[in-house]
Amino acid sequence: MTTLGFIGIGNMGAPMATRLIDAGHELVIFDTNSERATSLRGKVVGSPKDVADAAEIVLLSLPVPDAVRAVIAGPEGVVHGSKVKIVVDLSTTGRDTIVAMAQTLAARGVTLVDAPVSGGITGAEKGTLAIMVAGPAAACDVARPFLESIGRVYVVGDAAGQGQVMKVLNNLLSATAMAATAEAMVVGAKAGLDARTMIDVLNASSGRNTATTDKFPRSVLDRSFDFGFRTVLLHKDVKLCRELAESLGMPFGVGRAVEAAWAHAAAELGDQDFTRIVEVLERGTGVVVGKSPEAAIAAPAAAK
């Protein structure tokens, strides 16, 4: 049995931490919300430093880059811990933040493993997340058994930051699919097409994507809008991808249009579920996509 540190017991962190506990590991836990922290079977401590004083391996699952910087390098940050040797960041922070934090930790003899995840709350609960790992091989090898408790490991590079590159590219494509599908569905509804029929046809045709196979069936057509990811965070991810492209001197024409769509949605929706972008696009049209429970369809088994 290994004692692990875990910081960030949110929508994604809680199920990932639970899987590690169920796999037989003892967890030392910190979260700014003490209720969330005490909801798990683990030892709750008062600061990130306390976690790093108690565990050689500390995992982070945090919502934004500033939170990662504060948890790692703040006055009571992980970097000041006496026992920590490896920090595994499961967050989506962007390349610049993770590279800077890797350097901060390295100055204290601590290695950072860049390991953002994809698959949503359902993937976190079922242990089917895609984990995009990058960092020194020795540290990645140490972290792998723990990571395999929460998903499938894909080693994408040997330096911190490369995992973040892979993650923001993935989220750009996911965000593009959702924004484009939402717009297409609203246009189709305005033209008199049935929402369920549209999804059936798209999923049998070349327009099929993650929004048509998963997000619309699960969270839009029944108007539940409960997929479990905040609009502001998806906008943050697309913005991080745009910043990456700019830093590389790359064009980002389609991406800029997608970022603009999510900036508008985030301004209206804030912390509400990102699937509500459909409601933003519906406003003023006189139509509602999947306006009754009867219009909903069951999600494919693979998406459950």
| Other CB atoms within 10 Å distance of the CB of residue 170 | 17
Query: Could you give the C-alpha distances from 112 to 25, 196, 290, in angstroms and in order?
Result: 20, 46, 45
What φ, ψ does residue 153 adopt, rounded to 5°? Answer: -90, 130
State which fold the 165-303 domain adopts. Answer: N-(1-d-carboxylethyl)-l-norvaline Dehydrogenase; domain 2 (1.10.1040)
Q: Give the pLDDT confidence score for residue 2 in this predicted structure.
A: 82
Delimit the domains of the chain by residue range.
3-158, 165-303
Q: Give the pLDDT confidence score for residue 294 in this predicted structure.
A: 43
Which of 3.20.20.80, 3.40.50.620, 3.40.50.720, 3.60.15.10 would CATH assign to domain 3-158? 3.40.50.720
Annotated catalytic residues are 167
What is the chain's Cα-based Rg?
A: 20
Nearest to 29 by CA among 6, 53, 10: 6
Q: Give the pLDDT confidence score for residue 302 in this predicted structure.
A: 35
Q: Give the pLDDT confidence score for residue 1 in this predicted structure.
A: 65
Helices (H), the chain: 13-22, 34-38, 48-54, 65-73, 95-106, 120-126, 137-147, 162-190, 195-203, 210, 231-247, 253-269, 277-282
Q: Give the pLDDT confidence score for residue 165 in this predicted structure.
A: 98
Global pTM reads 0.91
Report the chain (304 residues): mean pLDDT per 10 consecutive residues. 91 96 96 91 96 98 97 98 98 96 98 97 96 98 97 97 98 98 97 97 98 97 95 97 97 97 98 98 94 45 36
Q: Is 99 helix (H, G, I), strand (E, B) or coil?
A: helix
Nearest to 56 by CA among 113, 15, 95: 113
